[in-house]
Amino acid sequence: MSAATSRPTVEARNLSVRFRARGEAAWPWSKAGEVKAVENVSIAVPRGEMFGVAGESGCGKSTLARALLNLVAPSAGEVRIDGRAVAGMPALELRSSIQMVFQDPYNSLNPRRRVGDIVAESLVVHGRFDDRERAHRTLTMLEKVGLGAQHLERFPHEFSGGQRQRIAIARALILEPQFLVLDEPTSALDVSVQAMVLELIRQLRRDLDLGCIFISHDLNLLGFLTDRLAVMYLGRIVEMGPTKEIFAAPAHPYTVELIAATPSPYEEGREPRQPIEGEIPSNVNPPPGCPFHTRCRKRIGPICDSRLPELRWHEGRAVRCHLYDGPPAESGGAP
Amino acid sequence: MRRVLRTLWIRLFNSALVIAVLSVVVFGFMRMIPGDPILALMGTEGITDAKLAEVKKELGLDRPLYVQYLSWAWHVLQGDFGRSIQNNEPVLPMLLERLKVTAELAVAATILGSSLGILIGVVSAVRRNTIFDSASMIGALSGVSMPVFWLGIILIVGFSVKLDIFPTGGLVSHNTRLVAVTGFPLLDSLITGQRAATVDILKHMVLPTVTLAFAPAALVARTTRASVLEVINEDYVNAGLARGLSFAGVVARHVMRNALIPVVTIIGLEIGVYLGGSIVTESVFSYPGLGRYMMQGIMANDYPVVQGAIILYAAIIVVVNLVVDLSYSAIDPRVRS
Amino acid sequence: MSAATLPPAGSVLGALKLLAERPSAMFGLAVIASLVVVALLAPWIAPYAADDFTEGVLEPPSWAHLFGIDQIGRDLFSRVILGTRISLRIGLLAVGISLAFGVTLGVLAGYFGGWVDAAIMRVMDVVMALPYVLLAVLIATALGPSLENGIIAIGIVRIPRFARVARAATLATVELPYVEAARCIGASHPRIIAKEILPNILGPLIVYGTLSLGDAILAAAVLSFLGLGAQPPTPEWGALLYEAQKYLTTAAYLSLFPGLFVFVTVLSFNLLGDGLRDMLDPKSRR
């Protein structure tokens, strides 16, 4: 689309995902509430970039990840990869250009299949190569993530969390995708293991020239890892821009509080310093106006409860807050 | 309240749907049965095709299937279950008469099975891991595995043939005359004060009741035991003990109330087991209830009787399940949300 | 999420070891194993063929004829032994039918959800509205009384139960990340069901299948006893009881032994099934 991105890019354009609040399937026609998981989100991530998505649990970041892979269908807007709409793309073609690593390494590997089969499954599904070549590539891929031939015949329960996440990464990357979505890939791991897995991800991103979308609630981790960052609240992006600048001078009151609430990496294991006040509102009935106004310390007046602020340019980034009145930034491209 | 009403309507609609679909299935099945009811009725000897066609026309069996079904269903809705092919009597009064006999048997079995099951279950739970517990749980599993008809046979051999305490079968002895008032034999004999008849009916009821109650008692015992064990460790039990209540007192006052909710549900849902079991039990004991009547209908290819009996069975089960469901949500507020 | 899961694959021996801690389950397993041996070797164990006539009529049990001689002079022991084969085959075939259709329907309902689920489970509800003896009687009647039709009837009757078990297990599995991971690499629905779902819902299905084997054999005996299943002179246990019924007062032993075999067989499958369930779902253990 825009001139700034000549490289292959994965983009979301005005993406919204809403679910029916699910109950029993007893009455197909009965009305249920609607969960607005993702509302009007636009991002663009070129190959080679490490893009972070931050937010508390329930802010829609995992749903955004799934929508990028067409694992959930968008209610409005679209996802494009390299300019082509994902919705119409043949499934296998889409799957070989973008892949995903899931949060929970203890449940993301089928407990009844051998590690070699789990990793090779991607190639089998895509009908790529013959058995010998598949075996060869599986082994090469396992070695790339720090495992070896001795692991091929084992079952997932024989591995530690960190090793399992390596297997999950191998399964995703054996298809040689251009883009990789990582949904809290280290949040279930011990701190010491986290660092090694993160280092592996960094190194693979460099070697394979991947475009990564890294989703996490851990701002420290995103600050250290990502080039650009989007902060989400109740399904919407409230601030987006270069990670360094956001950390240096957060603009949106929510970003400010989020960073303040994050323990510094040097005081490991301590409680967050200043937890954000108030409950996260329900995304079935989000508050009117600015979604954050119920918890915001910098409310400026009735406008906050009545009108949804637009995303506007402010000091090299996009911010959704009535405090700022720069030009509209709805395009969502890189600033 | 509106919510409760809404749930009620949905359940009612659901139940009606189940019965409606079932009626189609039953109707279809009955027409699949090999063999012609007319031939079964009149014998194959000396019957001409013309005569056969005439009888069929008279009974409405010459019309297309769906017309037969709709006409039957329409009449059923008005309480007219048709006439028996065997003896041309209206089906519904006969079904109800037999149902009353089965109902007395089933109620007796429910009372026996539930009280015995609850008693054994509670004692097993309270004396967990004692010999009584192990023995009664092995007994309960045996009860679930016991072929109903075989149990009946064993009881007949033991108590009728060898010991000659109870009769081998039937509702009453040949020389007992029953006066019908309500149609419930035992109740009628009590109302009219025929003590001899009451005793006779009860004697005939003992073995079928035990036979019918055995498997459900075993199930209730297992459920009660599990449910009491679930509750017995909760805080209010310890609190009661701390307040100085005796253990038996705590069990009686607190444990039972909370533990019995699932048990009551099981007993309610057992109605299907009782009705299914009554078919077999009535066959073993030649007991003239609904199950035996239906089996006779099946043997004679008597469509209206069998269809009517099954619809009746289904209606009873659906209604009982509905009542159990609704009362369950009334007892336990947690279910309501 | 409380669906029973098997211990990690490749440890049948480990499973046996776990089972060995439960004497009642091991007892069930031992009885079943001997019944299987008896069934396989029946023609060699039984001293007579099913329709051989021996000396005498309605003779009570003796050393020559362990279970006695029936009303037309056949050796009951031989007939009961030969019936083992028939009854076990009935159990396997009937449960096979229930399993095939029930699991297919249940997995489809659980996997696709929505109206597929609603439609399938509504039909299952209708089938479940009747007591299953009644339904089996109805189907066996409609198909005509015979051993094969009895098997079909019993198989059909249990389809909804298997569908429920399979659906519940599928619902617990389908939400797990590895299923989503399989979608993510582009696996088709049939492949996901075959490779990701089915192997992981085997636990509850094995438990329920074991319990059902006993129930199916019991139901077959009931049908035969009502005259709707296996027909005399087939030495199916229920049919033996049907024949023996007329001689209750004169030759009770004719009813005793076939019934005892039904009872012990059903009990063994229930013991084994209960043991398996406790083993797979530690929460139900007491």
pLDDT tens, residue by residue, A3-29: 455 778 888 888 888 887 654 444 444
CA neighbor of B302 nearest in space, from B54, B65, B81: B81
Residue, of B187 and B210, whose pLDDT is higher:
B210
Give the model's pLDDT for residue A32.
59
Give the model's pLDDT for residue C282.
52
User: pLDDT, tens digit, for every residue of B141-159?
Assistant: 888 888 888 899 889 888 8
Give the model's pLDDT for residue B46.
63
User: pLDDT, tens digit, for every residue of C79-104?
Assistant: 888 889 999 999 999 999 999 999 99
Give the model's pLDDT for residue B210.
93
Q: Which of A76-85, A233-242, A248-257, A308-317 is predicted with the least confidence, judged by mean pLDDT?
A: A308-317
Residue B231: pLDDT over 80: no
Give the model's pLDDT for residue A92.
85
- Show the tokens assigned to B89: 């009597």
Q: What are phi and psi of C149, to 5 degrees?
A: -65, -30
Band (pLDDT 50/70/90 cuts) for residue C5 is: very low
- Amino acid (one-letter) located at B69: Y
**CA nearest A107 in C: which residue?**
C177
* Whole-number Å distance between alpha carbons of C267 and C278: 16
User: pLDDT, tens digit, for every residue of A41-83?
Assistant: 888 898 888 999 988 877 888 889 888 888 888 888 888 888 8
Give the model's pLDDT for residue A181.
92
Alpha-carbon Rg for chain C in angstroms? 22
Band (pLDDT 50/70/90 cuts) for residue B2 is: low
Cα A287 from chain centroid?
24
- Show the tokens assigned to A131: 């058995």
Q: Order of strands, edge to edge, in the sheet holding A211-216?
A: A98-101, A179-183, A211-216, A50-54, A228-233, A236-242, A317-320, A311-314
Q: Averaged over C234-257, what is the pLDDT?
A: 83
Give the model's pLDDT for residue A272.
52
* Whole-number Å distance between alpha carbons of C93 and B191: 52
The CATH code that applies to domain B95-331 is 1.10.3720.10
DSSP reduced 3-state for B283: helix
Question: What is the total residue count of chain C?
Answer: 286
- Find the CB nearest C129 among B142, B157, B318: B318
Give the model's pLDDT for residue C42.
75
Q: Averaged over C200-205, what is the pLDDT?
A: 87
- Find the CB nearest C8 among A102, A103, A155: A155
Q: Looking at chain A, list the stretches that DSSP marks H as alpha helix, in order from N- to C-terminal side.
A: 61-68, 91-97, 115-125, 131-144, 161-173, 191-208, 219-225, 243-248, 253-261, 303-306
* Whole-number Å distance between alpha carbons of B291 and B275: 8
Give the model's pLDDT for residue A266.
57
Q: Taking the CB of residue C156, how many other CB atoms lie within 10 A of it? A: 21
Band (pLDDT 50/70/90 cuts) for residue A331 is: low
**CA nearest A91 in C: which residue?**
C186
Average pLDDT, chain C: 83
Angular region, A287: left φ>0, alpha ψ -120 to 50, beta rest: beta
Give the model's pLDDT for residue C269.
92
Residue B202: pLDDT over 70: yes
Helix %, strand %, coil % of chain C (to 5): 75, 0, 25
Residue, of B100 and B177, whose pLDDT is higher:
B100
Residue C285: pLDDT over 60: no
Q: Which residues of B touch C133 (CB under 8 A)?
A: 276-277, 279-280
- Find the CB nearest C118 among A25, A100, A103: A25
Given CB atoms, is C115 within the 8 Å cutoff of chain A? yes
The H or E element containing residue A100 is: strand A98-101
Instruction: Name residues whose C-beta falls within 8 Å of residue B205's C-beta, 6 or more positions apart in sequence.
Output: B104, B105, B108, B186
User: pLDDT, tens digit, for every residue of A228-240?
Assistant: 999 998 888 888 9
Strands A84-85 and A311-314: unpaired
* Whole-number Å distance between alpha carbons of A61 and A38: 8
Instruction: Note whether C177 contacts A125, CB cutoff 8 Å.
Output: no
Chain C: closest CA distance from residue A295 (Å): 33
Mutate to test the interface with B, among C141, C243, C248, C256 (most CBs of B within 10 A): C141
Given CB atoms, is C119 within the 8 Å cutoff of chain B? no
Give the model's pLDDT for residue B236.
64
Directed axis angle between helix B2-32 and helix B303-331, to 10°?
160
Residue C1: pLDDT over 60: no
Residue B337: pLDDT over 60: no
Q: Where are the domains of chain B?
A: 2-77, 95-331
Give the model's pLDDT for residue B53.
77
**Do B237 and C95 form a contact (C-beta atoms < 8 A)?**
no
Give the model's pLDDT for residue A26.
43
Residue A300: pLDDT over 90: no
Mutate to test the interface with C, among A114, A125, A153 (most CBs of C within 10 A): A125
User: pLDDT, tens digit, for every residue of C99-144?
Assistant: 999 999 999 999 998 888 888 888 888 777 777 788 888 888 888 8
User: pLDDT, tens digit, for every residue of B280-310?
Assistant: 899 889 899 999 999 888 888 787 888 889 8
- The complex's ipTM works out to 0.80
Give the model's pLDDT for residue C97.
95
User: pLDDT, tens digit, for every residue of B248-283?
Assistant: 777 776 667 677 777 777 777 777 778 888 888 998
Residue, of B261 and A221, whose pLDDT is higher:
A221
Please give the biggest Cα pair distance in chain B.
87
**Do A17 and A38 form a contact (C-beta atoms < 8 A)?**
yes
Average pLDDT, chain B: 81
Given CB atoms, is C14 within the 8 Å cutoff of chain A? no
Instruction: Note whether A155 contacts C117, CB cutoff 8 Å.
Output: no
- Find the CB nearest C126 among B22, B29, B154: B22
CB < 8 Å from C in window 110-129 of A: 110-113, 121-122, 125-126
Give the model's pLDDT for residue A31.
54
